[in-house]
Structure 1
Amino acid sequence: MILRPLRTTALLIACLCSSSLAAADPATKPITPTETISLLGDGDLTKYFYTWLTDGGYEDPRHVFTMGPDGVLHISGEGFGGLTTRQEYADYYLVIEYRWGTATLLTRKDRARDSGVLLHCQGPDGGFGGTPENPGPWMTSIECQIIEGGVGDILVLPGKDAAGKPMKAEATCTIVRDRDGEAVWSPQGVATRFEKGRINWYGRDPNWDDVVDYRGPDDVESPGQGWTKVEVFAAGDSLVYRVNGVVVNRAAHVYPRQGKLLLQTEGAELFVRKAELGPLPQEIP
């Protein structure tokens, strides 16, 4: 995810403060899957998700998110926001299978194709990257980054509550620093607590450039428009990210440790053929 300038209307203020779509019962415990849940279901996105867009609130007049007859979710990229689950989840195994389309749009035109999955989302929609009067596209959360050259980066995203007060988000990762001083996950690194910012996956190219079709020499994401499998193991306050079977990042002492899931739209066309939640395996990589 790369943050972009915000676009809002008075409608967003009303949505942020009053919409029943975003409201979660504080007494409701998060769901811990005991069997596989297909979030794409039978093609009815409203069964598990609602929509949030910076220029549309809870409406999707441009049909940014559509289900094809083949059961594949099409995200046009024509907007900033995402599909957010109605329920909160904890202690789960998440599988996303996606491939890029060819289009890059808006402020991301000719930039690296960008998306992501926000985990453990808390607080109001638009609470990260904006203000109560000027909501942003995201929520307080921990991101599993999906961007050309950076699939598997961890982003710690502390936002604000509906009153504009800071909300907490953090993660501890074992890291080394690259030549530019950026944090890179390494099993042999030094345990470091992050209250915001990005922890690069272990093989991220230090020469990464924000240009379309960027691919680093060690990338494990499938090239071009090939399908890529991203797995997230969320166990207690730990996270493990695996891309095409390769563990690329991990964190401990994660907060929040439960919440909604948000699949982003961020100016790049994306197709998703699988979005599943299931119980954690007996052995976590």
Structure 2
Amino acid sequence: MLRKSGFCLVLFFALSMANFSAMAQSFPIELPASWKKGEAIQLFNGENLEYWYTFIKDRGRDEDPKNVFQVADGLLTISGEEWGCITTNNPYDNYILKTSFRWEGETYGDRKEKARDSGLLIHSKGEDGGYSGIWMHGIEVQIIEGGTGDFLAVGDGTETFGLSAPVAKELQGSSHLYEPGGDLVRINKGRINWYGRSPKWTDTIGFRGKKEVEKKVGKWNDLEVQTWEGNIAVFLNGKLVNFATKVQPEFGRIQVQSEGATIQFKEITLFPLIK
């Protein structure tokens, strides 16, 4: 009888903890079925940058003498030679953003031998160049060799820009690692690494980890960002690699970064979400 009672107590405790965990993470980590996709907006139409304007550090808006941002043969090529971005003319909220990218071409400057780097900044607000003279403040979905899918709070260090995510107990260096079912942490600066980021990651060109989801250089990758009511889910080549909730702000402009490496896009499509 004593052994049976002990077993029941352990079982009760385990079930209680499972229920507590479920209550603590009642948010959906994938888009609920109640949200429906609206008509597609071809943010990149293969012909021009109709929906965007350019911004380059130390040059400003719509000044691109080195053709950092070029459209040809149905592709958007961002050379990376100068630091900057393209920014949507309009802000957006509650959407699915589908992109297809590949690394193709040179690396430049102090990132010549470092990991190829770019990124999507969503929910961007404030002044052009408000962050380091380059970007608006926002929430970054990182595109970098070995770290595509990481979240970065590119904010001003206040609650105005931040996110929460379930993470592993152990840090990766100074960063948290996304882990479904983990404890929620909140950041207003720094990053939440995607679930498979290598603990041995180094900022070197061509880096690849054991759990890599991104394809080899020159191959096309599908990166999808779903954002609704303060949640962001990131899918890389069909796999959920990161998730955040209680994101602030919940809407804003979209930026695509130029950060020292040549990257190409053949699709940037936004589907508004309707509930």
Is the pair's TM-score, using the shorter chain for normalization, greater than 0.5? yes
Q: Distance in 2 between matches of 1:44 and 1:33?
A: 25
Q: Quote how far apart the aligned CAs of 1:43 are.
A: 1.2
Q: Distance in 1 between matches of 2:78 and 2:155?
A: 25
What is the TM-score of this pair, normalised by structure 1?
Answer: 0.80
1:36/1:219 CA distance change after superposition, 3 Å: same
1:257/1:116 CA distance change after superposition, 3 Å: same
User: Which of 223, 244, 249 is matched with 1:256 structurally?
Assistant: 249
1:123/1:102 CA distance change after superposition, 3 Å: same
Which residue of the partner structure matches residue 131 of structure 2? 128
What whole-Å deviation, never above 9, does each CA across 1:219-246 have from its counterpart, x for those lacking one? Answer: 1011121000000001110000000000
> Is the contact made by 2:150 and 2:192 (CA closer than 8 Å) also made in structure 1?
yes
Q: Percentage identity across aligned positions?
A: 39
Tell me if 1:65 matches 2:32.
Answer: no
User: Which of 182, 186, 194 is matched with 2:187 structurally?
Assistant: 194
Counterpart residue type for residue 109 of structure 2:
L
Q: Which stretch shifts more, 146-155 or 172-181?
A: 172-181
What SS is found at the alignment partner of 2:47? coil
Q: Which runs of 5+ in 2 are unaligned?
A: 1-35
Counterpart residue type for residue 171 of structure 1:
L
What is the TM-score of this pair, normalised by structure 2?
Answer: 0.83
> Which runs of structure 2 are paired with 1:1-40 in the superposition (5 Å)?
34-40=38-44
Which 4+ runs in 1 deviate beyond 2 A?
177-182, 279-282
Tell me if 1:92 matches 2:84.
Answer: no
Q: Distance in 1 between matches of 2:187 and 2:88?
A: 26
> Is the contact made by 2:46 and 2:71 (CA closer than 8 Å) also made in structure 1?
no
Q: Which runs of 5+ in 1 are unaligned?
A: 1-31, 130-135, 161-165
Which residue of the partner structure matches residue 240 of structure 2? 247
> Which runs of structure 2 are paired with 1:71-150 in the superposition (5 Å)?
71-129=74-132, 136-150=133-147
Q: Quote how far apart the aligned CAs of 1:279 are.
A: 3.0
What SS is found at the alignment partner of 1:279? strand
User: Which of 212, 215, 225 is matched with 1:222 structurally?
Assistant: 215
Larger radius of gyration: 2
Q: Quote how far apart the aligned CAs of 1:280 are.
A: 3.6
1:281/1:104 CA distance change after superposition, 3 Å: farther
What SS is found at the alignment partner of 1:213? coil
Which residue of the partner structure matches residue 168 of structure 1? 160
Which residue of the partner structure matches residue 232 of structure 1? 225
Superposition CA RMSD, Å: 1.8
